[in-house]
């Protein structure tokens, strides 16, 4: 795995304990914005909703390895820095399997104006700043705005760096 700088104090959970882990990447750009992508309308979980980059950590992978792989698979970019741990949530999308998600604020290398979206999974992307966070709420149940909360945490953390 390429070198990834991890900020002091960040620890990664042990993903070998048999639970299902999800690694989330709140990707930032030099302008202080956060990358979001819209899920395809045929997706089983959160169809047609805005989301951050991320997915399940595969068996045998560490959280950092899963995070790096998901970023590359979903955008074509490479994680260069993990800046902060932003959010931890346990959730079940209705299939009876609890996901243990940890979301990290990261910087990446690559052409930030040309992400290589997984066309069958994501239909568009948007760089979000404080003025655009409200757009992430479309197509969601009003009680389910945790993506908005995660993006806000990322933007707030950026201001503190």
Spatial contact of 106 and 34, defined as CB atoms under 8 Å apart: no
Phi, then psi, of 22 in degrees rounded to 5: -125, 130
Q: pLDDT (tens digit, 9 = 90+) per residue, 113-156?
A: 999 999 899 999 999 999 999 889 865 555 566 789 999 999 99
Domains and CATH numbers, the chain: 5-160 (3.90.79.10)
**pLDDT of 12:** 97
Spatial contact of 71 and 108, defined as CB atoms under 8 Å apart: yes
pTM: 0.93
């Amino acid at each position: 795995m390429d070198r990834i700088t991890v900020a002091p104090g960040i620890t990664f959970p042990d993903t070998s304990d048999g639970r299902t882990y999800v690694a989330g990447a709140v990707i930032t750009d030099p302008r202080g914005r956060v990358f979001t992508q819209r899920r395809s309308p045929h997706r089983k979980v959160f169809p047609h909703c805005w989301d951050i980059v991320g997915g399940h950590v595969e068996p045998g992978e560490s959280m950092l390895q899963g995070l790096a792989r998901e970023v590359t698979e979903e955008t074509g970019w490479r994680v260069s820095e993990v800046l902060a741990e932003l959010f931890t949530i346990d959730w079940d999308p209705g299939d009876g399997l609890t996901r243990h998600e940890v979301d990290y604020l990261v910087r990446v290398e690559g052409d930030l104006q040309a992400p290589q979206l997984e066309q069958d999974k994501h239909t568009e992307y948007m760089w979000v700043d404080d003025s655009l966070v409200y757009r992430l709420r479309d197509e969601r149940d009003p009680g389910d705005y945790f993506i908005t909360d995660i993006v806000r945490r990322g933007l707030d953390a950026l201001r503190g760096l």
